[in-house]
Amino acid sequence: MKIRGLIYLFFILAFTANVSAQNTDEDAFFIKKIHDKALSDSKCYDWLYHMSENIGARLSGSDEYNIAADYTEAELRKLGVDKIWRQTTTVDYWDRGSGSSVRITDAMGHVLETKSLALGKSVGTPPGGITAEVIEVKSLDEVEQLGREKIEGKIVFYNRPLDPTHLNTFRAYGGAVDQRGNGASKASEYGALGVLVRSMTTRQDDVPHTGSLRYKEGVKPIPGIAISTNDANKLSTLLKDGEQPVMATMEADCNPAGERPSDNIIAEIKGSEFPDEIILVGGHLDSWDVGGGAHDDGAGCVHSMEVIHILKALNYQPKRTIRCVLFANEENGLAGGREYARISNENGEFHLAAIESDSGGFVPRGFTMDGTAAVLESYAKQINDWLPLLEPYGLWLKTGGSGADISPLKSQNGLLMGLRPDSQRYFDFHHTATDRIGAVNQRELELGAATMATMVFLIDKYGLKRP
Amino acid sequence: MKIRGLIYLFFILAFTANVSAQNTDEDAFFIKKIHDKALSDSKCYDWLYHMSENIGARLSGSDEYNIAADYTEAELRKLGVDKIWRQTTTVDYWDRGSGSSVRITDAMGHVLETKSLALGKSVGTPPGGITAEVIEVKSLDEVEQLGREKIEGKIVFYNRPLDPTHLNTFRAYGGAVDQRGNGASKASEYGALGVLVRSMTTRQDDVPHTGSLRYKEGVKPIPGIAISTNDANKLSTLLKDGEQPVMATMEADCNPAGERPSDNIIAEIKGSEFPDEIILVGGHLDSWDVGGGAHDDGAGCVHSMEVIHILKALNYQPKRTIRCVLFANEENGLAGGREYARISNENGEFHLAAIESDSGGFVPRGFTMDGTAAVLESYAKQINDWLPLLEPYGLWLKTGGSGADISPLKSQNGLLMGLRPDSQRYFDFHHTATDRIGAVNQRELELGAATMATMVFLIDKYGLKRP
């Protein structure tokens, strides 16, 4: 292939597209500076180390959450932002208590002590636990089909694995997580006493994964406990092997524990030309109550903080207002995201764009874009013109979701985006005791921050024409 | 705008012109089947587990190498290939002996015991080691500038870090590795007694990285030892702090240990229509003598073996001959790659394409293509027509290198390709005791194999028009 032909082609394309060649060179240069800064002199890894290892897991409403809120507020203040404030939300606290256990016994008297974690928001069991026969199902539909005759008085074991053939592991998760979210209430409707749920991961290992369940109103809440995939496989084998019933004793000391306050942390750099056009970067400061919440979602918090750090360090003067928001309570209620949007709407604010990072601190692969149909048609097209600036960093743009915390902002008719890191390892650590700093590669984390800063820079510099 | 972006755009246009929609659907379907198989029912992770954890490090000529050769040959045989054979090469063996130590002492009597590893192929020190003043340099040029007056009788400490701002860590490595490769001979030319080399990694940690040095003919060989980046930083600080000399005692028990035989392992499926057009997939079976050689290059071996497994499992009947080659001696001589090409040329073979995986078992990002100018113009253009089939898997195609083992095949005028996994984590583990199975994510490994199998399928199905 001839380079001359390519260049000729390029000029045709450049002409038809909206990108001016001169700006493109300048932009590419600044984007390189953003990346250089992130890879050589960033703070995000140290911040995440502190949050994950020194503060640790930080469920909304916990002491650790409040310590993390103080810490991130102080660190954001050091960056010299124009304004920093808090929004207090009210969250439904939940307490794991002294933990859980699931002991399986077959008719031969063999005992399997599983690795387990009670599901978030689950009610506890009575002391001494619940002992009952286990029945395995692959879906909520199967519970309905089996009906009360087969389900009543039993412990229902949801064991449909994540489909490993999805390239995007979030799809695999999305295809299985109804068991965790709604399995308890479905089983309770048919008289079950409790549910065991196969951990939501593509891995075969001994690590149990927690995460929220939701109780349906009017249905008796029964306890739900996750067991590791290795234990789920063993239990399933026991159930297949025997003619005799397999019994489980499940015990969990957890319980909902009343309302507590929990704060969103917000910092901003005021825009010089269009201060009323807000570009938000954010993640959620809360995590589940095990591990260190390193990937979920400490990474998203430090990504967002690092955007501020990089732009400040490069002495970038934004035309628009750049706002970093660390949301409370994504894991067990979304009170932070809802309250943020409520106040924003009340104040007549407009978020031109909001970018959430809540898919881990892995190597960035691109962004998904969300919004109303009119927004996607107008904004997304403009964003796509920047693709040649992103492609050298291996980044793509697709329509898709954005992030739970920013989703209530959709009605403002801005563009919502989600940073999409590579998803292969995310569910190795999601909602587990292993989601700690050792699971995070520093360069991958830094590149995520650089990718977000790049998008903020482009949106700030060029704006987005409203539909 | 970067040329890469241009090329990407160009290929999209080229695609609309050249690829028939019907084939594309069929091909996309088969490529999906390849990926499904890899992600749900592959053998590569188990193979790698065994090689890394049960067999372990396998320097060419070692017992472990021979065990790994037997193991992989047996596993390839189980796949039902048409032919399987060995090529015996002669390699210069090297023995680390009982290990190394580097002890730093400053004028105050403070002692720093470093984490060290002798460099591969290094001569040893006398028993009791070499004790001398340390002088830090940042480059081979600096040794020349300092001259014999400053260098003679000293231990030279090469301490230029990898440049973290390279997005591709192989570039960062390439910009620093001359210190490890040629630093000893350069220092010896000016009368140094030994060299310490900062480990070749972007990480700051306590893990020393080995790897080859090369002695220049006619220059006295002096010992070279790598120290961890944390220790390198500490040593550098000591050297900056004091007016007084900082002394090091470096001791290493290693030595070149004569010639030994070491075998390439080769398996093939004969092509039904064009058996003389060979499509090679390969990696190198040898590793350094520490860790488990999981990413370097166990991953490349099991990627290549998995290509055979997947195509067999999907009952794919290749038109061309698909050959899997596990090369000996990449790390310390390249005898395997050279001997393979020599015999291939002697037999008048033609490798239409050769694809090496020697950049780790991380998530695949694409392929680089190499060859003569005529080959690149003709073959690479055809390959690029397939980009729309690869893009859904997040893969790109670029010109660039291929792999050390297949590079001697360039004169056959086939297309050489390198699988390019994401590079961010590679130099965390490269040539270290930590390059073991725990550093490998199963899905990422499986996707690498699927990516190679995809490219083999496309080349086999469509062929490549010779320039």
* pLDDT given for residue B245 in this prediction: 94
Does residue A162 sit in helix, strand or coil?
A: coil
For residue A22, what is the nearest residue in chain B, using CA coordinates?
Answer: B1
Contacts of A441 in chain B (CB under 8 A): 424-425, 428
Q: Which of A2, A4, A10 to mutate to test the interface with B (most CBs of B within 10 A)?
A: A10
Neighbours of A29 (CB within 10 A): 9
Q: Does A36 touch chain B (CB under 8 A)?
A: yes
**For the segment B437-455, what is each residue's pLDDT rounded down to a tens digit?**
999 999 999 999 999 999 9
What integer is the mean pLDDT of A172-180?
A: 98
* pLDDT given for residue B467 in this prediction: 76
Q: pLDDT: is A23 or A394 the higher one?
A: A394
What integer is the mean pLDDT of A270-282?
A: 98
Instruction: Decide if A30 contacts A302 (C-beta within 8 A).
Output: no
* pLDDT given for residue B15 in this prediction: 43
Tell me the pLDDT band of A57, cut-offs 50, 70 and 90: very high
**Are A444 and B425 within 8 A, CB to CB?**
yes
Q: Does B444 touch chain A (CB under 8 A)?
A: yes
The residue among A270, A266, A259 whose CA lies nearest residue A283 is: A266
**Are A428 and B441 within 8 A, CB to CB?**
yes
**For the segment B189-248, what is each residue's pLDDT rounded down to a tens digit?**
999 999 999 999 999 999 999 999 999 999 999 999 999 999 999 999 999 977 789 999
* pLDDT given for residue A226 in this prediction: 98
Residue in B10, B35, B428 closest to A6 by CB: B10
**CA distance linking residue A178 with residue A187, whole number of Å:** 12
**Interhelix angle for B63-78 vs B299-313, to 10°?**
10
- Would strands B224-227 and B116-118 be described as parallel, antiparallel, or unpaired? antiparallel
Contacts of A430 in chain B (CB under 8 A): none
* pLDDT given for residue A395 in this prediction: 96
Q: Does B3 touch chain A (CB under 8 A)?
A: yes
* pLDDT given for residue B226 in this prediction: 98
Q: Which of B13, B39, B379 to mutate to test the interface with A (most CBs of A within 10 A)?
A: B39
Beta strands in B82-212 (DSSP E): 83-95, 100-105, 111-113, 116-118, 130-137, 155-158, 194-198
* pLDDT given for residue A244 in this prediction: 87
**For the segment B111-142, what is each residue's pLDDT rounded down to a tens digit?**
999 999 999 999 999 999 999 999 999 999 99
Q: Which of A3, A171, A363 to mutate to test the interface with B (most CBs of B within 10 A)?
A: A363
Which residues does residue B321 pair with via DSSP β-bridges, in sequence order? B278
Judged by CB atoms within 8 Å, which residues 394-413 of A form the interface with B? 394, 396
First to last CA, chain B: 30
Beta strands in A161-239 (DSSP E): 194-198, 224-227
Residue in B1, B202, B380 closest to A388 by CB: B1
**CA distance linking residue A126 with residue B346, whole number of Å:** 79
**Are B9 and A14 within 8 A, CB to CB?**
no
Q: How far is CA A72 from the centre of its chain?
A: 18
- Compute the nearest-CA separation of B1 from chain A (Å): 6
Q: pLDDT: is B50 or B11 the higher one?
A: B50
Residue in A165, A387, A425 closest to B441 by CB: A425
**CA distance linking residue B327 with residue B283, whole number of Å:** 6
pLDDT of B14 higher than 70? no
Instruction: Decide if A295 contacts A360 (C-beta within 8 A).
Output: yes
* pLDDT given for residue A13 in this prediction: 41
Residue in B8, B165, B203 closest to A40 by CB: B165
* pLDDT given for residue A364 in this prediction: 98
pLDDT of B2 higher than 90? no
- Compute the nearest-CA separation of A317 from chain B (Å): 23
Mean pLDDT score of chain A: 94
Structure tokens at A323: 């706002």
Which ipTM did the prediction report? 0.93
**For the segment A74-111, what is each residue's pLDDT rounded down to a tens digit?**
999 999 999 999 999 999 999 999 999 999 999 888 89
Neighbours of B321 (CB within 10 A): 23
Residue in A165, A203, A363 closest to B39 by CB: A165
Position A34: which residue type?
I
Judged by CB atoms within 8 Å, which residues 199-258 of A form the interface with B? 202-203
Q: Does B453 touch chain A (CB under 8 A)?
A: no
- For every residue of A390-432, DSSP letters joined together read HGGGT-EEEE----TTTGGGGGG--EEEEEEE--TTHHHHTTS
What integer is the mean pLDDT of B394-418?
A: 95
For residue A393, what is the nearest residue in chain B, using CA coordinates?
Answer: B167
- Compute the nearest-CA separation of A36 from chain B (Å): 5
Residue in A1, A165, A391 closest to B4 by CB: A391
Residue in A3, A7, A441 closest to B425 by CB: A441
**For the segment B82-104, what is each residue's pLDDT rounded down to a tens digit?**
999 999 999 999 999 999 999 99
- Compute the nearest-CA separation of B196 from chain A (Å): 24
Tell me the pLDDT band of B7, cut-offs 50, 70 and 90: very low
Enumerate the H helices of B168-245 as residue ranges.
169-174, 178-189, 229-241
The residue among B128, B132, B131, B100 whose CA lies nearest residue B114 is: B100
Q: Does A169 touch chain B (CB under 8 A)?
A: yes
Q: Does B16 touch chain A (CB under 8 A)?
A: no
3-state secondary structure A422-443: CCCCHHHHCCCCCCCHHHCCHH
- For every residue of B114-133, DSSP letters joined together read --EEEPBT---PPTT-EEEE
Residue in A164, A203, A443 closest to B39 by CB: A164
- The rounded percent of chain A whose pLDDT value lies above 70 is 95
pLDDT of B21 higher than 70? no
Q: How many CB pairs under 8 A join A and B?
A: 98
Residue in B9, B377, B392 closest to A1 by CB: B377
**Interhelix angle for A299-313 vs A63-78, to 10°?**
10
For residue A366, what is the nearest residue in chain B, using CA coordinates?
Answer: B394
Torsion of CA B104, B109, B110, B116, to 10 degrees: 20
**Are B363 and A443 within 8 A, CB to CB?**
no
The residue among B286, B260, B274, B414 whose CA lies nearest residue B344 is: B414
Q: Does A92 touch chain B (CB under 8 A)?
A: no
* pLDDT given for residue B188 in this prediction: 98
**Are A10 and B1 within 8 A, CB to CB?**
yes
**CA distance linking residue B312 with residue B310, whole number of Å:** 5
Which residues does residue B398 pair with via DSSP β-bridges, in sequence order? B368
Q: Does B365 touch chain A (CB under 8 A)?
A: yes
Q: Which of A23, A422, A447 to mutate to test the interface with B (most CBs of B within 10 A)?
A: A422
- The rounded percent of chain A whose pLDDT value lies above 90 is 89
**CA distance linking residue B308 with residue B269, whole number of Å:** 8
pLDDT of A16 higher than 90? no
- Compute the nearest-CA separation of A74 from chain B (Å): 26
Residue in B1, B202, B394 closest to A28 by CB: B1
**CA distance linking residue B213 with residue B209, whole number of Å:** 12
Tell me the pLDDT band of B1, cut-offs 50, 70 and 90: very low
- Compute the nearest-CA separation of B9 from chain A (Å): 8
pLDDT of B19 higher than 50? no
* pLDDT given for residue A160 in this prediction: 98
Judged by CB atoms within 8 Å, which residues 39-68 of A form the interface with B? 39-40
- Sign, CA torsion B172/B175/B181/B185: negative
* pLDDT given for residue B380 in this prediction: 81
Q: Does A363 touch chain B (CB under 8 A)?
A: yes
**For the segment A329-367, what is each residue's pLDDT rounded down to a tens digit?**
999 999 999 999 999 999 999 999 999 999 999 999 999
**CA distance linking residue A323 with residue A330, whole number of Å:** 19
Structure letter (DSSP) for residue B388: H
Q: Does A373 touch chain B (CB under 8 A)?
A: no
Which residues does residue B105 pair with via DSSP β-bridges, in sequence order? B111, B247
Residue in B40, B164, B202 closest to A165 by CB: B40
The residue among A181, A186, A122 whose CA lies nearest residue A156 is: A186
For residue B202, what is the nearest residue in chain A, using CA coordinates?
Answer: A443
Q: Does B424 touch chain A (CB under 8 A)?
A: yes
Which helix (H) or strand (E) is A229 found in, with range? helix A229-241
Which residues does residue A282 pair with via DSSP β-bridges, in sequence order? A325, A356
**Are A392 and B4 within 8 A, CB to CB?**
yes
**CA distance linking residue A444 with residue B430, whole number of Å:** 17
Position A168: which residue type?
N
> Using only C-alpha atoms, what is the Rg of chain B?
23
